[in-house]
């Protein structure tokens, strides 16, 4: 039996009668068409920002954004809808387990396939209670049902989260022209008319300039999803256009206590590269769980030095973000910079936390360049964890061509010719900053001559995101695993 999130604010925020609702929405769109008719030369919007108040107050403002979808209505097959939490508090971004969202205009199928792409992210979880009476998402649906043809929906209620966490979710859901992003927000609340105009003007300026720092808590109830949208839009080089800004004193209310509304569309920009998408995602994971990974690495080394055995991890006790497959390197240094061991993997074949625990142990006890780490050394050691992106083969004709494509301090490099193979992490650029020397030293590491070249020479680039601990044997930071001995 299908699970349905029933309409909660039909009859209050918008008409509960299907015929009246359809007529009202179409009236708003027709009026918006006169003032905001899309030009055939306009870039199509990838995302819109629109208000979520009762239709008599904000319907015309919302319609000014939705009418811009008219030229691409047949291309849009998926809608990602983010709105703030008003009823049941949440920490992070909440998905809904229902199969359909329902309005008087019918049911909208929730996109389980697309939702699955973000379900393992640390800031995302399923929480139906916050969806049940939330109007910030629901009021947009009749507009979408009227302007678009068949589409699926990913509804997200946004609670306490950072702009970066929201941006990472949007990056994972971005898709192509088939995917529309809708951000739901009103502006200032319950000021007098003049004060509202002053504050909303500041908010409009901040949005138009992608300035997240100038959007305070009292400027927009949907400030968190708006900031997340602006962060990824700025990174992608998108353009934003203000379509309409008014308040309830301009539409259907008195001027002594008003609420502000605005609508925008975001166009153009670039698709994030695979490396950029990796960086966005991994930065979020390491910000939240980097200390945990350092604790696990330190405990793995400590257990090996003291008990002469490997650590046993209870994977069920770790968050999903650390159980996804990942590749890592663990570097051990002594006395503030002297290399003491470095081992890693180039491709993910096991849970990331497991990979890091094993590589920490191997770096301490299996690096053939160094003796095994002793218990007495623990106090002098520091740790650096590097999580690797997928490696992409570099297309080149000559060595000069290869060198021209390398990005110092960004790219890690893997080279191979026949059975000879070696890798440098991006951190090696700190010690070998010149491209030619960087490549030459890597050839020597692989057992080739520094000037070696052949027609079968191959190279791959990757990037890393990392965390660092200045002191391995810090009791405050060590994950306590002694109970397993």
**Single pTM value for the model:** 0.72
Q: Are 54 and 234 spatial neighbours (Cβ–Cβ below 8 Å)? A: no
Whether residue 288 is found in the same domain as residue 262: no
Give the pLDDT of residue 471.
85
- Residue 420 tokens, joined: 């000879």
Whether residue 187 is found in the same domain as residue 296: no
What residue numbers bound the domain in which 417 lies? 390-462
Q: Which residues of 381-391 are buried (b: 16+ CB within 10 A; e: fewer)?
A: bbbbbbbbbeb
Whether residue 256 is found in the same domain as residue 395: no
Instruction: Report the CATH number that the domain containing residue 207 is assigned in CATH.
Output: 3.40.830.10
Beta-bridge partner residues of 388: 327, 464
Whether residue 382 is found in the same domain as residue 413: no
Residue 235's SS3 state is helix
Give the pLDDT of residue 473.
63
Choose the final residue of a domain: 272, 307, 324.
272
Whether residue 177 is found in the same domain as residue 311: no
Give the pLDDT of residue 485.
23
Give the pLDDT of residue 42.
77
Give the pLDDT of residue 474.
57
If one counts the domains in the chain, the total is: 3
Whether residue 181 is found in the same domain as residue 330: no
Q: Are 214 and 206 spatial neighbours (Cβ–Cβ below 8 Å)? A: yes
Whether residue 421 is found in the same domain as residue 320: no
Give the pLDDT of residue 319.
87
Whether residue 365 is found in the same domain as residue 478: yes
10-residue stretch averages of pLDDT, the chain, 485 residues long: 96 98 97 79 91 97 96 96 96 97 98 94 94 98 97 98 93 94 97 97 97 95 97 94 96 93 94 81 87 95 94 92 93 92 95 97 97 94 94 94 95 96 94 96 97 96 92 53 30
Whether residue 91 is found in the same domain as residue 197: yes
């Amino acid at each position: 039996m299908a699970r349905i999130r029933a309409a909660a604010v039909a009859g209050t925020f918008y008409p509960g009668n299907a015929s009246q609702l359809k007529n009202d929405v179409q009236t708003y769109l027709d009026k918006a068409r006169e003032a905001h008719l899309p030009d055939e030369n306009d870039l199509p919007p990838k995302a819109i920002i629109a208000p979520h108040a009762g239709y008599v107050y904000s319907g015309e403002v919302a319609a000014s954004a939705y009418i811009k979808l008219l030229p691409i209505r047949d291309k849009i097959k998926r809608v990602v809808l983010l709105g703030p939490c008003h009823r049941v508090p949440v920490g992070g971004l909440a998905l809904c387990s229902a199969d359909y969202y329902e309005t008087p205009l019918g049911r909208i199928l929730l996109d389980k396939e697309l939702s699955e792409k973000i379900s393992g992210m640390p800031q995302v979880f399923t929480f139906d209670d916050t969806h049940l009476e939330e109007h910030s998402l629901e009021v947009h649906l009749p507009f979408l049902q009227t302007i678009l043809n068949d589409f699926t929906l990913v509804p997200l209620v946004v609670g306490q989260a950072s702009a970066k966490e929201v941006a990472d979710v949007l990056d994972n859901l971005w898709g192509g022209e088939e995917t529309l992003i809708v951000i739901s927000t009103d502006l200032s609340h319950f000021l007098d008319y003049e004060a509202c105009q002053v504050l909303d003007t500041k908010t409009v300026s901040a949005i138009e300039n992608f300035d997240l720092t100038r959007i305070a808590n009292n400027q927009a109830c949907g400030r968190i999803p708006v900031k997340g949208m602006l962060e990824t839009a700025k990174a992608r080089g998108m353009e934003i256009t203000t379509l309409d800004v008014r308040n309830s004193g301009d539409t259907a209310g008195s001027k002594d206590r008003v609420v502000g509304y605005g609508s925008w569309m975001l166009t153009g920009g670039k698709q994030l590269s695979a490396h950029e998408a990796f960086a966005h995602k991994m930065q979020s994971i390491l910000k939240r769980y980097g200390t945990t990974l350092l604790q696990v690495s330190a405990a793995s080394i400590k257990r090996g030095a003291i008990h002469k055995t490997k650590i046993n991890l209870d994977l069920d006790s770790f968050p999903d973000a650390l159980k996804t497959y990942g590749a890592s390197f663990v570097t051990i240094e002594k006395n503030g910079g002297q290399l003491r061991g470095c081992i890693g993997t180039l491709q993910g074949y096991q849970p990331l936390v497991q990979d890091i625990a094993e590589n920490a142990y191997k770096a301490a006890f299996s690096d053939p360049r160094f003796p095994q780490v002793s218990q007495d050394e623990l106090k002098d050691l520091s740790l650096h964890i590097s999580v690797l992106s997928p490696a992409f083969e570099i297309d080149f004709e000559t060595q000069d061509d290869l060198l021209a494509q390398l990005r110092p301090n960004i790219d890690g490099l893997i080279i191979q010719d026949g059975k000879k193979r070696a890798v440098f992490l991006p951190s090696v650029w700190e010690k070998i900053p010149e491209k030619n020397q960087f490549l030459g030293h890597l050839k020597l590491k692989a057992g080739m001559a520094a000037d070696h070249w052949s027609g079968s020479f191959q190279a791959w680039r990757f990037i890393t995101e990392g965390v660092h601990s200045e002191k391995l044997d810090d009791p405050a930071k060590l994950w306590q695993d002694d109970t397993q001995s």
